[in-house]
Amino acid sequence: MQNCSRRDFLKTSAVLGAATTLPLLPSVRAQSPNNKLRVAVVGVNGRGMSHVGAFLKMPDVEIAYICDVDTRALAKGLEHAGGKAKGVSDFRRILDDKSIDALSFAVPNHWHAPATIMSCSAGKHVYIEKPGSHDPFEAEMIVAAARKFNRVVQQGTQRRSWPWIQEAIKRIHAGEIGNVRFARTWYNNSRGSIGAGKPVAVPEWLDYNMWQGPAPEQPFVDNLVHYNWHWRWHYGNGEIGNNGIHVLDVARWGLGVGFPKRISCTGGRYHFKDDQQTPDTAIATFDFGDKGVTFDSHSCDPHGFENATFGIMFYGDKGTLVIGNSSYKIYDPYNKQIEEKKGGGGEKGHFANFVDCVRTGKRPNADIGECQKSTMLCHLANIAYRTGHTINFDGATRKIVADPDADRLWKREYRVGWEPKV
């Protein structure tokens, strides 16, 4: 594809994969003039524009490439980046540029792990949007790649870098609400129907072959790009992988738990009859043995709990702490509010943490190894939903227990030659 055949690229990757573990930034910085970090932003139709904006505000960071398979988005991204970056439609063309320190990806979920693995094997650090993987197999592979090639990989679960949420979690860990055994999480929205897609010719502005990448080929339909792929199992992970990952990551962080033992998920596509395959309404439960978590997903019902569309509620034996859209509140054991702390969001702190870790070699706030444990909750809940029964999971072996139907959903099929390897 575009002066870089798949066969040649994979051959190059195999050579890189056999190389000795790469050192962290001291040698990388020496390659960049004036100690500037040179980054590439891949996927700028939506979230990627936030990546561009964040990097533009950082000293000693240069956006060297903008990449997108949509020529319209590519043009806008280049304009937003200030006109100095090079534009490409195939990110693999960036990997051979030894002056590039990091790639920042805002691409569809089916690309998350394969693109990160390719980049790590080429010696690049990676910022990858959530959920970071399409299925449990990829969740394992992306972490293995980050560790094998000794790369900094930051996942886009940015709440781990928000000071007010860090403060709330510290207070939970300090025992201010006592022994915490349970967290309730939720996400609400008012999404409409995606309709019924019609097969049409691929638009001239879209490289659909590259857009599909590792996913087995399917005909192009007019309601797929650039967002509705989220609701198709072939490419996305539904609402739990889209927004549920944020609340589940904070819940797991606060409770201090790893992998659940039992997972269930029930719900359906209740609001519209259309092409959406993933549920618009669902409740997932996660049993960790001595602690538990629930996730209430309501994509088409905007009214959430605690007057928040997004939240995590931690129940302790000495009180309750509720993290909402832009604040956290603490209640005493008698449900009297005793404190409220307001906070903000944004991207700056999370990207700054990534850049700092690339420079120093430290693990980032949302290190891929830690955050893929949270993503695994999303994958297991989706498997429970799709099989229609409770899943038992062995966290020590990271395997589903005695369940052939569930095992079939552990790993996706790939286009020939595209299966990621570490």
- Indicate the range of 17-31, 107-121, 235-249, 289-303 predicted with least confidence: 17-31
Over the stretch 2-52, which tens digit does the pLDDT of each residue have?
Answer: 333 334 433 333 333 333 333 444 434 434 445 899 999 999 999 999 999
Token pair for 307 = 């007057």
With CA atoms as reference, report the closest residue to 171 among 318, 286, 289. Answer: 318
Answer yes or no: are the C-beta atoms of 147 and 368 closer than 8 Å: no
241 and 383 both lie in a single domain: yes
Residue 212 within any structural domain of the chain? no
Do 170 and 21 have their domain in common? Answer: no
State yes or no: pLDDT of 397 exceeds 80.
Answer: yes
pLDDT tens digit sequence for 151-189:
999 999 999 999 999 999 999 999 999 999 999 999 999
Helix (H, G, I), strand (E, B) or coil at 107: coil
Shared domain check, 289 and 249: yes
Q: Report the CATH number that the domain containing residue 288 is assigned in CATH.
A: 3.30.360.10
Look at residue 83 in the predicted model and tell me its pLDDT: 78
Q: By residue range, what is the domain housing residue 92?
A: 6-158+350-366
Structural domain contains residue 244: yes
In a domain, residue 201? The reply is: no
pLDDT at 23: 45
Whether the CB-CB separation of 154 and 367 falls below 8 Å is answered with yes
Helix (H) or strand (E) holding 251: helix 245-255
Residue 415 DSSP symbol: -
pLDDT at 16: 32
**Mean of per-residue pLDDT scores for the chain:** 92
Does residue 122 sit in the same domain as residue 270?
Answer: no
Residue 31 belongs to a domain: yes
DSSP 317: T
Q: Which of 76, 148, 81 is nearest to 116 (CA)?
A: 148
Return d(Cα 338, Cα 85) in angstroms, integer.
Answer: 51
Q: Which residue has the higher pLDDT, 74 or 17?
A: 74
Shared domain check, 175 and 32: no
Tell whether 97 and 168 lie within a shared domain: no
- Residue 205 domain-assigned? no
The tokens for 197 are 């897609």
| 132 in the same domain as 23 | yes
- The verdict on 237 and 115 lying in the same domain is no
Do 356 and 337 lie in a common domain?
A: no
- Are residue 55 and residue 125 in the same domain, yes or no? yes
Does residue 117 share a domain with residue 21? yes
How many folded domains does the chain comprise? 2
Q: Does a structural domain hold residue 276?
A: yes
**H-only helix segments in 18-162:** 25-29, 47-56, 71-80, 92-95, 109-121, 136-148
Residue 267 shares a structural domain with residue 133: no
Q: Report if residue 420 sits inside a domain.
A: no
pLDDT digits (tens, 9 = 90+) for 353-390: 999 999 999 999 999 999 999 999 999 999 999 999 99
Here the CATH number for the domain that contains residue 60 is 3.40.50.720
Residue 413 within any structural domain of the chain: no
pLDDT in tens, 230-269: 999 999 999 999 999 999 999 999 999 999 999 999 999 9
How confident is the model over 198-203, as a mean pLDDT?
Answer: 98
